[in-house]
Structure 1
């Protein structure tokens, strides 16, 4: 289960996420919709560790987790953004395998 508690993210004086609470149970699908500039992408970037939250807490299965500094790779969160860019010289499978092999150092056979 993924939980966000009081998550806040600011860029300068502009508050993008203001004390956001969210719970996503295992096996559930969540759609995030809203107006342009509403913080959807920032929320996903914070959850996946591409941005560091300013305050609040992210929990995975009830345990505090900071995806921004995760170095153990034991609790990884992945996000597929709507404007994906595949490498045209690679097959779909090769594109999908890039992150696990390059970032997580997984064997290609796995």
Structure 2
């Protein structure tokens, strides 16, 4: 039987994706926007993601905030997850911090990152 993945995390880059994959302990699709996203790509995503739990996890910087605003406008159902501004980027945030952000959204992470 094919397992349907119903959670999707949208990140900016591949290094962000690697960081999130490192701490996850459940199947989650991760989509990279590569920093920006066109309206046509966003429309495509909305069609594909309409019945999934969507989380936005972008950097705590200007480009991340711009992307977050775009998602809030175009995809209001998405849940927004925030990296502490002290770390600025998802990719450079410590694993335990990324794990704690994900746990708060009821996403399962590897227990070793929770201590």
TM, length-normalised to structure 2: 0.28
- Which of the pair is proportionally richer in strand? 1
- Which of the pair is proportionally richer in helix? 2
- Which structure is higher in RCO with an 8 Å CA cutoff and minimum separation 6? 2
